[in-house]
Amino acid sequence: MVHTADLAIGWLWEYDESFVLALEREAQERRGLATFQVRAFNIEEVLERIRKRSLRFRLFLDRGFDTDPRFEQLGKMVLSHGGSVVNSYERTIEAIDKATMHLEFLSAGLHVPFTIIISPFAERAEVGLTIEDLAHLGRPFIIKPANTTGGGIGVVTGAETLLDVIEARKIFVKDKYLLQEFIVPREIGARRCWFRCFFVYGKVFLAWWDDLTHIYDLVTPDEEHFYKLRPLRRIMRTIARISGLDFFSSEIALRQPSPYEPSRFIVVDYVNDMCDMRCRDEALDGLPDVLRDGIISRLALEAKKMAGG
């Protein structure tokens, strides 16, 4: 006998628990779906059951593959047996490479910070930059590893000198690095015009996200209209088309105008595929409930579609 789960969720991070439980409630109670959790303690059993075809998943949300390769193995088995996975593994690898996305975004006409891409330290110990090169970035500037993601790992936000670059790229020696100009957002009233936007299966969610405090506030329909924030939706759909991902977030700032640059939307942090789904009750910089609920509803709706609903 084959047991079918309409929505399976693989997770390892302890702070994902409330999100997973809320998603299960939405899927079960509102959508009438069967759900299944995959954890470290049962991953081997699940792999064996999938292999023997006594268990199958219609849609698999994998929040464990970046930590435990067995989860990716499971996801690929789900795909081979006719199921679907939220975010293709192949597209995810491409999308989280900031150097690749930077060039793709430029080709698509998106505005991004002025950037210099440098090769990994393991390939070339010399930086290959001059003081004149750094002058184009201004001071301070940002140093980012191209492929190391999550929580700002390896990011230097207040770099000033060539020595900063030399030292930073020794942290992840096999990774490319991006040197980016420091973007100063416009301010509207007491708000800094820095946004974290979410794309979930065709739907875009907009949120103010203060880059200094990391506090969220939902963008209301009135604010979207009054402050002319509609272009954020177009930008997110363009990023979705380029990345090929189903569920991700991006940071976009409305740049402070200068004598040389008009005020325009700049994509600052390109693609985050493993969004932190803690709510405000769990973390000061967590998502507003209405935003997390909207994302959860969209994921459950997609699972319902996969189940033929």
Among the ranges 132-136, 147-151, 197-201, which has the highest mean pLDDT value?
Answer: 197-201
pLDDT at 100: 93
Q: What is the mean pLDDT of residues 271-292?
A: 95
Task: Give the domain CATH number at 163.
Answer: 3.30.1490.20
β-partners of residue 250 are 197
Task: Give the domain CATH number at 241.
Answer: 3.30.470.20
Asked, for residue 301, whether it belongs to a domain, the answer is no
Task: State which amino acid sits at residue 195.
Answer: F
Question: pLDDT digits over 5-21, tens only?
Answer: 999 999 999 999 999 99
Same domain? For 236 and 105 the reply is yes
Q: For residue 196, give its domain range.
A: 88-111+183-272
| C-alpha–C-alpha distance, residues 218 and 205, integer Å | 8
Same domain? For 247 and 192 the reply is yes
Asked, for residue 297, whether it belongs to a domain, the answer is no
Same domain? For 35 and 148 the reply is no
pLDDT at 91: 96
Same domain? For 153 and 196 the reply is no
Asked, for residue 298, whether it belongs to a domain, the answer is no
Q: What is the mean pLDDT of residues 231-251?
A: 98
Asked, for residue 123, whether it belongs to a domain, the answer is yes
| C-alpha–C-alpha distance, residues 142 and 157, integer Å | 5
pLDDT at 149: 57
Q: What is the three-class DSSP state of 11?
A: strand
Task: Give the domain CATH number at 40.
Answer: 3.40.50.2300
Maximum CA extent, the chain: 70
Asked, for residue 283, whether it belongs to a domain, the answer is no
Same domain? For 106 and 208 the reply is yes
Same domain? For 247 and 118 the reply is no
Q: Considering the chain, what percentage of its residues have pLDDT values greater than 90? A: 75
pLDDT at 150: 57
Q: What is the mean pLDDT of residues 203-221?
A: 96
Q: What is the mean pLDDT of residues 297-302?
A: 98
| C-alpha–C-alpha distance, residues 80 and 157, integer Å | 42
Same domain? For 29 and 173 the reply is no
pLDDT at 309: 67
Same domain? For 102 and 238 the reply is yes
Q: What is the mean pLDDT of residues 78-107?
A: 95
| C-alpha–C-alpha distance, residues 218 and 168, integer Å | 35
Question: Is 80 exceeded by the pLDDT of residue 38?
Answer: yes
pLDDT at 147: 82
Same domain? For 191 and 169 the reply is no
User: pTM (2 decimals)?
Assistant: 0.92
Same domain? For 63 and 133 the reply is no
- Total of domains in the chain: 3
Q: Which of 156, 181, 206 is the last residue of a domain?
A: 181
Asked, for residue 223, whether it belongs to a domain, the answer is yes
More confident: 5 or 156: 5
Same domain? For 103 and 224 the reply is yes
Q: What is the mean pLDDT of residues 217-223?
A: 96
Banded model confidence at residue 287, pLDDT cuts 50, 70, 90: very high
More confident: 259 or 89: 89
Same domain? For 106 and 220 the reply is yes
pLDDT at 158: 82
Q: What is the mean pLDDT of residues 31-46?
A: 98
Q: Which of 166, 181, 196 is the last residue of a domain?
A: 181
pLDDT at 151: 57
Banded model confidence at residue 66, pLDDT cuts 50, 70, 90: very high
